């Protein structure tokens, strides 16, 4: 006897509103990503205008990333309780105002303050933008395409940030790299209420404010101590700051293990696949941001290239990274995540090693080759980390896994400049002429001799080599761990978590 089978009707295909909403959401995504890297080529101009110290220069660069990374999960929880679109609108408005303040900052201290405020606002944008975007696409296949476009836009923003900054600096003053945010923010605030709907998720618990304070203060104090010691040598203040920072982070970890609704679900790291994915989210961005920052100084201050020419040198690597982000999902569908992660780590390691032949009198070609080869690995990591992390955990924990993956990206961007940049600063301090804490300050010092300038340039290149070598070794080690511990058979990805619907 035949039986009637009731089938759930397929969800309606996304209409023009959904695709227009996607375009509107991608604006803030590009801005948040670009502002993590847009200053790499601008630092030479900023240093000449504002004369920041060595540690102030690093804070100008990575204060933004630390603010985003330390608050990303917290703002995800706040958006769940009070509304994603509402938080997205408020964050975009603050981001625009802080960008205007940064553009006209008269001192290094104020520039750092506005960059941190931009980071606080940026932390509201990423998780809320993804959740609001997911509401637009009821069909799972179309939703996956939209989220893939979201990830590619985020990765492309990191890649094209230095190029956009270089083009602007070739025609305008350094503050223009911040003013480009304003028309995008204004367009978003105008169109978002018409195209996007409010999204909330219940049952998430209260945001644990002490956890937010412990994580942010711990990261900032620990990195401040490390950077200060690298730039100026060991002293009581940086060592105490680093010690207090580590103690606060330890307290943070212990607190997360006891809370019913932790800020970060550390239990997820018991899964080896998830742990490898989370580290993969952090390490490639750390290497990329450090090399992009140090490379911008190398091309301009050592090789003597103008801003426009330096931007052109970075363009091939940026294009390769962006294209790789777009094609990786289709390739991974055939080869599997394990092969993609192995390729990612070993290709990045090989690309970083290509920086070692660079020198004071030549090496721009080696720099291009290094960024192109490593760009393939960076693009793979940016595309597969979130999916790998989410697929490694049960469906009910997928929301926490996705938040940790996003947080690891932002922290990687900041830690690369802070830690690998501090390593380069330490090498420069030990091998340089001891006239100033940075290469730019040394070359601008009154009465600097040609011999001292040559010694400073050589010391900086040695610091670049040291940072690249350490990053390459870390990637090779992570590749070996992936080879040993990541299973060959992929587990099916869980359905989209409620927090992203």
Q: State which residues form the domain around 421.
A: 16-196+263-500
The DSSP code sequence of 37-92 is TTTTTTHHHHHHHH---HHHHHHHHHHHHHHHHHHHHHHHHHHHHH-HHHHHHHHH
189 and 292 in one domain?
Answer: yes
Judgement on whether residues 164 and 220 belong to the same structural domain of the protein: no
pLDDT in tens, 360-404: 888 888 999 999 999 899 888 877 776 677 666 665 565 566 667
Mean per-residue pLDDT, 155-180: 78
Question: Which of 244, 262, 280 is the last residue before a domain boundary?
Answer: 262
Q: Do 24 and 173 fall into the same domain?
A: yes
The pLDDT value given to residue 491? 46
SS3 36: coil
Q: How many domains does the chain have?
A: 2
Q: Is 345's pLDDT higher than 70?
A: yes
Higher-confidence position of 465 and 416:
465
Higher-confidence position of 478 and 262: 478
Distance CA 392, CA 77 (A): 22
- Binned at pLDDT 50, 70 and 90, residue 153 comes out as confident
Question: Looking at the domain assignment, is residue 8 inside a domain?
Answer: no
CB distance 432 to 442 below 8 Å: yes
Contacts of 272 (CB under 8 A, 6+ apart): 485, 486
Whether residue 283 contacts residue 479, with contact meaning beta carbons closer than 8 Å, is answered with no
Contact assessment for residue 44 and residue 300, using Cβ atoms and an 8 Å cutoff: yes
Number of neighbours of residue 454 by Cβ within 10 angstroms:
13
- 241-271 per-position pLDDT tens digit: 889 989 998 998 899 888 877 777 777 788 7
* Low-confidence winner among 153-167, 374-388, 425-439 (lowest mean pLDDT): 153-167
Is residue 301 within 8 Å of 352, Cβ to Cβ? no
Dist. CA 226–CA 245, nearest whole Å: 10
CATH at residue 323: 1.20.1250.20
Q: What is the pLDDT of residue 487?
A: 67
Q: Answer yes or no: do 333 and 464 share one domain.
A: yes
Q: Does residue 394 or residue 105 have the better pLDDT?
A: 105
Instruction: Report the phi/psi class of residue 304: left, alpha or beta, with left for phi > 0 and alpha for psi in -120 to 50.
Output: left
Does residue 325 sit in the same domain as residue 288? yes
Read off the pLDDT of residues 450-475 as tens digits, 9 standing for 90 and up: 888 889 999 999 999 999 999 999 99
Distance (Å, rounded) from C-alpha 146 to C-alpha 140? 10
Q: What pLDDT is recorded for position 336?
A: 79
Centre a 10 Å sphere on the Cβ of residue 237 and count the other Cβ atoms it contains. Answer: 12
Are 276 and 481 in contact by the 8 Å Cβ rule? The answer is yes
Task: Write down which residue in 219, 243, 262 finishes a domain.
Answer: 262
Q: 279 with 228, same domain?
A: no
Q: Is 150 exposed, middle or buried (0-12, 13-18, 19+ CB in 10 A)?
A: buried
226 and 146 belong to one structural domain? no
Count other Cβ atoms within 10 Å, centred on residue 244: 16
Give the Cα separation of 16 and 5 in Å (integer): 33
9 domain residue, yes or no: no
The pLDDT value recorded for residue 402 is: 63
Give Cα 261 to chain centroid, integer Å: 26
Domain boundary among 225, 242, 262: 262
Looking at the domain assignment, is residue 343 inside a domain? yes
- Sequence-separated (6 or more) residues with CB below 8 Å from residue 437: 53, 54, 55, 231, 232, 425, 428, 429
Residue 90 and residue 225: Cα distance in Å, rounded? 33
Q: Coil, strand, or helix at residue 89? A: helix
Distance (Å, rounded) from C-alpha 65 to C-alpha 207?
A: 21
> Would you give the distance in Å from CA 440 to the centre of its chain?
25
pLDDT reading at 142 higher than 50: yes
* Residue partners of 339: CB distance under 8 A and separation at least 6: none
pLDDT-based confidence at 144, cuts 50/70/90?
Answer: low
pLDDT attached to residue 358: 92
| Position 131 pLDDT exceeds 70 | no
Q: Which pLDDT band holds residue 497 (cuts at 50, 70, 90)? A: very low
* Sequence-ordered list of residues with C-beta below 8 angstroms from that of 393, at least 6 positions apart, any chain: 268, 271, 274, 400, 401, 494
Same domain, 214 and 331: no
301 & 383 share domain: yes
- Tell me, rounded to whole angstroms, the distance of Cα 209 from its chain centroid: 24
The 10 Å CB-count burial string (b at 16+, else e) for 153-171 is: bbbbbbbbbbbbbbbbbee
Tell whether 4 is covered by a domain. Answer: no
pLDDT confidence bin for 77, thresholds 50/70/90: low
Which comes out higher in pLDDT, residue 427 or 488? 427
Q: What gap in Å lies between CA 143 and CA 4, rounded to an integer?
A: 30
Does residue 122 form part of some domain?
yes
495 has pLDDT over 50:
no
Q: Is 278 exposed, middle or buried (0-12, 13-18, 19+ CB in 10 A)?
A: buried
Q: What are phi and psi of 8, to 5 degrees?
A: -70, 125
Does any domain span residue 7? Answer: no
Query: Which pair of tokens denotes residue 84?
Result: 């994603």
Mean pLDDT of the chain: 79
Q: Would you state the structure tokens that stand for residue 229, as one six-digit string?
A: 């010691």
The model's pTM: 0.73
Residues 63 and 186 in one domain: yes
- Indicate the SS3 state at residue 290: helix
Q: What is the pLDDT of residue 463?
A: 93
**Residues 395-433, buried b or exposed e (16+ Cβ, 10 A)?**
eebbbbbbbbbbbbbbbbbbbbbbbbbbbbbbbbbebbb
Cβ(408)–Cβ(439) under 8 Å? no
Query: What is the distance between the alpha carbons of residues 216 and 221, in angstroms, rounded to a whole number?
Result: 9
Q: Of the candidates 409, 380, 406, 327, which has an alpha carbon nearest to the alpha carbon of residue 131? A: 406
Domain assignment present for 202: no
Whole-number pLDDT of residue 493: 44
143 part of a folded domain: yes
Residues 131 and 176 in one domain: yes
Q: Is residue 267 domain-shared with residue 256, that is, in the same domain?
A: no
Tell me which range, 193-202, 318-327, 363-372, 443-452, is most confidently predicted by mean pLDDT. 363-372
């Amino acid at each position: 006897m035949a039986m009637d089978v009731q089938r759930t009707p397929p969800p309606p295909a996304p209409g023009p509103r959904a695709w227009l909403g996607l375009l509107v959401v991608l604006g803030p995504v590009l801005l948040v990503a670009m502002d993590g890297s847009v200053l790499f080529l601008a630092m030479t101009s900023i240093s000449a205008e504002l004369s920041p110290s060595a540690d102030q220069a690093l804070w100008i660069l990575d204060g933004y990333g630390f603010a985003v990374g330390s608050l990303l999960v917290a703002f995800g929880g706040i958006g769940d309780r009070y509304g994603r679109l509402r938080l997205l609108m408020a964050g975009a408005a603050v981001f625009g105002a802080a960008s205007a303040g940064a553009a006209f900052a008269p001192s290094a201290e104020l520039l750092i303050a506005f960059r941190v405020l931009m980071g606080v606002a940026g932390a509201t944008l990423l998780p809320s933008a993804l959740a609001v975007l997911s509401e637009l696409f009821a069909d799972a296949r179309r939703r996956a395409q939209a989220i893939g476009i979201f990830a590619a836009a985020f990765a492309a923003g990191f890649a094209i940030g230095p190029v956009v900054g270089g083009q602007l600096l070739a025609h305008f003053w350094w503050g223009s790299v911040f003013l480009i945010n304003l028309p995008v923010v204004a367009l978003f605030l105008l169109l978002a209420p018409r195209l996007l709907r409010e999204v909330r998720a219940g049952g998430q618990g209260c945001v644990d404010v002490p956890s937010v304070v412990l994580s942010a203060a711990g990261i900032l104090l620990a990195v401040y101590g490390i950077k200060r010691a690298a730039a100026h040598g060991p002293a009581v203040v940086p060592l105490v700051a680093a010690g207090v920072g580590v103690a606060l982070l330890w307290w943070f970890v212990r607190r997360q293990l006891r809370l019913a609704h932790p800020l970060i679900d550390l239990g997820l790291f018991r899964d080896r696949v998830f742990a490898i994915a989370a580290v993969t989210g952090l390490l490639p961005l750390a290497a990329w941001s450090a090399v992009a920052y140090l490379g911008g100084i190398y091309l301009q201050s050592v090789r003597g290239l103008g801003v426009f020419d330096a931007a052109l040198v970075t363009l091939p690597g940026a294009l390769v990274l962006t294209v790789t982000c777009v094609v990786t999902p289709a390739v991974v569908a055939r080869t599997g995540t394990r092969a993609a992660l192995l390729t990612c780590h070993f290709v990045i390691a090989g690309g970083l090693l290509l920086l070692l032949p660079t020198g004071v009198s030549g090496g721009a070609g080696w720099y291009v080759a290094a960024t192109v080869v490593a760009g393939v690995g960076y693009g793979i990591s940016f595309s597969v980390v979130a999916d790998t992390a989410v697929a490694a955990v049960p469906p009910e924990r997928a929301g926490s896994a996705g938040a940790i993956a996003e947080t690891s990206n932002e922290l990687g961007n900041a830690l690369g400049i802070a830690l690998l940049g501090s390593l380069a600063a330490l090498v420069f301090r030990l091998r340089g002429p001891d006239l100033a804490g940075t290469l730019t300050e040394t070359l601008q010092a009154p009465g600097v001799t040609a011999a001292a300038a040559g010694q400073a340039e050589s010391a900086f290149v040695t610091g670049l080599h040291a940072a690249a070598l350490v990053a390459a070794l870390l990637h090779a080690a992570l590749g070996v761990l992936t080879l040993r511990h990541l299973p060959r058979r992929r587990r099916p990805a869980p359905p989209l978590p409620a927090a992203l619907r």
